[in-house]
Amino acid sequence: MKSILLILIFISQSLQLLGQVEDWGIPKIIDFPRLDKISLDNQGFLFLADLEGNLYQYGKDGGFLNNFSPPRQGSLSQLEAFWTVNIFTFSADLQEYRILDRFMNPVSENRIPMDLINLAKAATLGNNNIIWVFDETDLSLKQFDYRRNRIIQNQPLNLIIDRSSLDIVDIKEYQNLLFLNIRNEGVFILDNQGNFIKKLNAKPTQKLGFWKGYLIYLEEEKIVFLNFQSEKVESIKFPSGIKAKGILVNQHQVYFYDSNQVWIFDKSKTTIEDIF
C-alpha cells in the first residue's frame, strides 16, 4: 500500500512538472523558508527578506551572492530595490528606515523622528531625497526629507480621498506617481505633489508590482496586467504546478513567490511578451 502511495505521489509531481514544461518551461527554484518581502533591482538582481529583516541578494541565475543583517532585528513593511543606486527598507514595527547602496552597505539609517511623524504605518522612497510616509495618527501623507530631517509637505488624506477607511496596505512611487493600495477599496493614484488623480479598479493582495506602464498582480490563478494610464486589463493563466501568492516581472525573467520559495521563469518562453 505504501509503495502504491509513493508511486501516485511521483506521478502527480511528474504531471505538475510536465505542465510547467508545456506552459512555461522548467523554472529555477530558490528555497527560502520564512520569506517575507521580495524586490528586484533594475539590473536583474533579486533581494529577499526574512521575518527578522535580514536581506539576501541573488543573481540572475538564482545563485546566492550577498547578505545584510541589520543591528536591530524586526520584520520589514517595505523592501524596494528597483531604484537605480539605492535599496530602501522600512519597518513599521521598529519605526525605522534604512537606505543601502547596491553592495548592501548602509548609506542612511535612522528611526522615524517622532517629533515630525507620530506613527508611520507605510513608507516608500521617492525622488529628490524624500520618503513618502503615511502617518496613521493624523491620517496624513507626509514628504519627509531624510537628509535635512524635515517635513516638506503634509497632505491630509481624509480630505483628498473621501469616504475611505485609509487602511493602507502598500504604498509605492513609480514613474513620478504615488500608488496607494487601500484594503478592499482599490489602488489610488496621486501625483508627485500628493494630489489625487484617479482610482484603479484593482485589489491586489500582494505588494504592488510594476513593469513598464502596467500594474501586475495575481488574481484567481491568473496574472493580471492593468495599464494604469488607459485602465485596459489583460490576463493570462500562470503556470501549473505552483501555488504562488505574488509575481514580479523584469526584462528577462518572471518571478513567482510564496512564503517558502521563488520560481524563476525565462520570460521569452512565456506569452507575457505578447502583452508588452
Interval 30-68: pLDDT, tens: 999 999 999 999 999 999 999 999 999 999 899 999 999
**Helix and strand numbers, DSSP H then E, in the chain:** 3, 24
Separation between Cα atoms, residue 227 and residue 212, nearest integer Å: 9
Pairing verdict, β 140-145 and 150-156: antiparallel
Residues 182 and 160: beta-carbon distance below 8 Å: no
pLDDT at 4: 55
pLDDT at 44: 92
pLDDT at 23: 73
pTM of the model: 0.89
pLDDT at 167: 97
Separation between Cα atoms, residue 158 and residue 164, nearest integer Å: 7
pLDDT at 10: 44
pLDDT at 221: 86
Q: What stretches in the chain show pLDDT beneath 50?
A: 2, 5-11, 13-22
